[in-house]
Amino acid sequence: MTAAHILVAEDEPDIRANLGRLLRLEGFDVSLAASGAQALQMAHTRRPDLVLTDLMMPGMDGRRLLRALRGDPRTAGVPVVCLSARVEAADMQGAVAAGASAYITKPYQSATLLACIRGLLAPGGVTET
């Protein structure tokens, strides 16, 4: 069985590296992007099975990335998990309204993040918020 391909969009180098390490240790095939624009380009080059994106990034932020992914038939169905330090209900609702499959607050618990990812990648993927 082929490992699921996860595209991570995170502008903070340490967080990006930690997410990549965690996901690779769990057996996922991981691509890392330092910006929303880079992630979008990478998603068009190689369609991911799931996108994990920070919401607050300079330039194309996670919400704009999410809208771009949802607006493109090639990536419209890809599950997108949003990570954010913002815990306000309005932020969570805004991300879900924009098409997020799940919203996880930072600092995240590895077990929670992995359970969410596995649920979304399972047949008939589960939406968690």
Q: What is the pLDDT along the chain (129 residues), one digit of tens a residue?
A: 689 999 999 999 999 999 999 999 999 999 999 999 999 999 999 999 999 999 999 899 989 999 999 999 999 999 999 999 888 888 888 898 889 999 999 999 999 999 999 999 998 664 443
Q: What predicted TM-score, i.e. pTM, was given to this entire model?
A: 0.92
Contact 42, 8 (CB under 8 A): no
Q: Which CATH superfamily groups domain 5-121?
A: Response regulator (3.40.50.2300)
Instruction: Using DSSP, state whether 120 is helix, strand or coil.
Output: helix
Q: What are the CA-CA distances from residue 68 to residues 35, 62, 63 (Å)?
A: 13, 10, 9
Helix intervals (H) in the chain: 13-25, 36-45, 62-70, 89-97, 110-121
Model pLDDT, residue 1: 61
Domain range summary for the chain, segments of one domain joined by +:
5-121
Q: Which two tokens stand for residue 24?
A: 């690779």
